[in-house]
Amino acid sequence: CGSLAASLLSGAVGSGTSLASAQEGAARSGVLQDLRGRFAVVTGASRGIGKGIAIGLAEAGAIVFVTGRDAAKVAATAELATKAGGQGIALPCDHGDDKQVEAVFQEVAKRTGGHLDILVNNAFKDPSLGNPEVDRKLTEGAKFYELPLSVWDDMHIVGLRSHYVASYYAAPLLLAAAQKEAVAGSSWRPFLCTTSSFGAVSYLFTTAYGVGKAASDRLMRDLQVELGPQGIDCLSIWPGLVLTEKIEELYKTNPSRVDRITGGQDPRRVGESPLLTGRVIARLAEDPGLRSPKGGVVTGEGLTGRVSIVAEAAKDLGIRDGGVPGSVGGDLYGEDRVATPSIRSLGFLGPGPLRQALPEGLRWLAEPGGPLANDSVRLPLEFMSQGPPPAPKDA
């Protein structure tokens, strides 16, 4: 992106972290550092998955605009992105306010010369945050009619609708980037993606959650119809069980809610860090050839099409989780390690719900490493749509 990107990147790596060490740590984790000079926006990046995505893109060298409501946390994420090897720029924003979103993209346009290479829609409002009553009801497995109507609005206004709004205001900048690449004779294409989940096909948490995720997937498929011919690729990204601050807290205070997903397994064994999602998105951004089913890490066309499952892409592309000691990834997300199994693989389902269903004398078959716990065996997504796995018998 020329001298503009170079000037923004000057002095990007914070004190105590050298660019060389940041690049070395990223390379060991399967990061290619091919996004140097690329501009990215990550919405809802003050914590959780968004924070990990911002760091993952920065590891690959990107200049990352970080948005979120909490200005202090947004600034902290931007600083971590800079230390990780790219540059983080904080742009506080409430994604429930269209005017604020519009202002963010106007500011991005001013700073980038009118173009944007990558948009990651991640902003999401958890209806239980700051609402102990909703939190209690969700923990107890309340039905949709037992929850306040505000749960729907919380999940869909800052969630599905905010993904649409951010894509709307980002579209002219992405199109400008696509035109710039075409004029230069480049095969690289701008990238627009949205974080979704297996909740799009399998019941998870509550009705409003699944509807929002399924609609987010449809949004990406339809945006691909409109933007794909103009040089922009659109995908849904499905993390697995992500060890966000919220999940870590739930495991301490309400482990039964986590057990519904893990089948009683320790989430620290089967959970992935937020950074893994960022590294997978970075690799997809680096290589447009991976963004279609031909690339091997995106689902085929159909009702579950244009989806990349984080754990599967990480395994197939050799992307690792965590980081080496002294790196941002290592300090925040633990030691360098192989990514955990996909939720739809026997590596996850075997030691969890499948083991629970087996007679006592046969449970060894589904223990980690056993023949019924092979993480290379992935069940069709249609199987996941049959409903959630059964809760642990002692839950």
pLDDT in tens, 326-339: 999 999 999 999 99
Q: What is the pLDDT of residue 249?
A: 77
Q: What is the pLDDT of residue 329?
A: 95
What are the percentages of helix, strand and coil residues in the chain, rounded to 5?
55, 10, 35
Tokens for 319? 């992307």
Q: What is the pLDDT of residue 393?
A: 56
Q: Where are the alpha helices (DSSP H) in the chain?
A: 2-9, 19-28, 48-59, 71-84, 98-112, 132-139, 150-155, 162-183, 207-227, 245-253, 255-262, 267-270, 274-286, 310-317, 328-333, 346-349, 355-357, 381-384
Residue 28 has pLDDT above 70, yes or no: no
Range with top average pLDDT, 26-30, 213-217, 254-258, 296-300: 213-217
Q: What is the pLDDT of residue 391?
A: 57
Q: What is the pLDDT of residue 248?
A: 78
pTM above 0.95, yes or no: no
Distance CA 201, CA 222 (A): 18
Helix (H/G/I), strand (E/B), else coil: 194: strand
Q: How far is CA 134 from the centre of its chain?
A: 25
117 close to 179: Cβ distance less than 8 angstroms: no
**What tens digit of pLDDT does each residue of 73-96 get?**
999 999 999 999 999 999 999 999
What spatial distance separates the first Cα and last Cα of the chain, rounded to whole Å?
Answer: 54
Distance CA 214, CA 199 (A): 7
Model confidence at 38, pLDDT cuts 50, 70, 90, reads: very high
Tokens for 48? 């959780």
**What tens digit of pLDDT does each residue of 107-151 get?**
999 999 999 999 999 999 999 888 899 988 988 889 999 999 999
Range 28-38 average pLDDT:
76
Q: What is the pLDDT of residue 365?
A: 92
Q: What is the pLDDT of residue 395?
A: 45
Q: φ and ψ at 41, to 5 degrees?
A: -120, 130
Q: What is the pLDDT of residue 10?
A: 43
Instruction: Tell me the pLDDT of the chain averaged across its residues.
Output: 89
Q: What is the pLDDT of residue 160?
A: 97
Among all residues, which ones are annotated catalytic?
209
Q: What is the pLDDT of residue 243?
A: 87
Residue 30 has pLDDT above 70, yes or no: no
Distance CA 151, CA 206 (A): 9
Q: What is the pLDDT of residue 304?
A: 86
Residue 246 has pLDDT above 70, yes or no: yes
Task: Lowest mean pLDDT of 22-36, 171-185, 263-277, name the range.
Answer: 22-36
118-144 exposure pattern, b = at least 16 Cβ within 10 A, e = fewer: bbbbbbbbbbbeebeebbebbeeeeee
Range 299-316 average pLDDT:
92
Range 345-358 average pLDDT:
88
Model confidence at 14, pLDDT cuts 50, 70, 90, reads: very low
Q: What is the pLDDT of residue 267?
A: 79
Residue 7 has pLDDT above 50, yes or no: no
Q: What is the pLDDT of residue 177?
A: 98
216 close to 159: Cβ distance less than 8 angstroms: yes
Q: What is the pLDDT of residue 388?
A: 60
Q: What is the pLDDT of residue 235?
A: 97
Range 21-29 average pLDDT:
55
Residue 241 has pLDDT above 60, yes or no: yes
Range with top average pLDDT, 97-101, 123-127, 298-302, 352-356: 97-101
- Share above pLDDT 70 across residues of the chain, in percent, rounded to a whole number: 89
Range 354-367 average pLDDT:
90
170 close to 65: Cβ distance less than 8 angstroms: no
- Share above pLDDT 90 across residues of the chain, in percent, rounded to a whole number: 70
Instruction: Return the axis-axis angle of helices 162-183 and 207-227, rounded to nearest 10°.
Output: 20
Range 177-203 average pLDDT:
96
